Amino acid sequence: MRLDPRVIPLWAQAPEDDGLIFNLYSFLLCYTLSNLISRKQNNISMM
């Protein structure tokens, strides 16, 4: 699994907002993971 290269500079630019950036990043990661999981379940149920 590769990180989006656009996200890394954003993270590196704002060390003082570390908590905020980390929360946003983890939220996006969880959101995309849940989307992938639900898509896989949909594909399985359609078979």
Specify the pLDDT at position 41: 80
Residues 1-47 pLDDT 10s: 566 666 666 556 655 666 777 788 888 888 898 888 888 887 777 66
Q: How far apart are CA 31 and CA 1, in angstroms?
A: 15
Specify the pLDDT at position 14: 55
Q: How far apart are CA 20 and CA 38, in angstroms?
A: 27
Specify the pLDDT at position 22: 79
Q: How far apart are CA 32 and CA 36, in angstroms?
A: 6
Domain ranges of the chain: 10-45
Asked if 23 contacts 14 with a C-beta cutoff of 8 angstroms, the reply is no
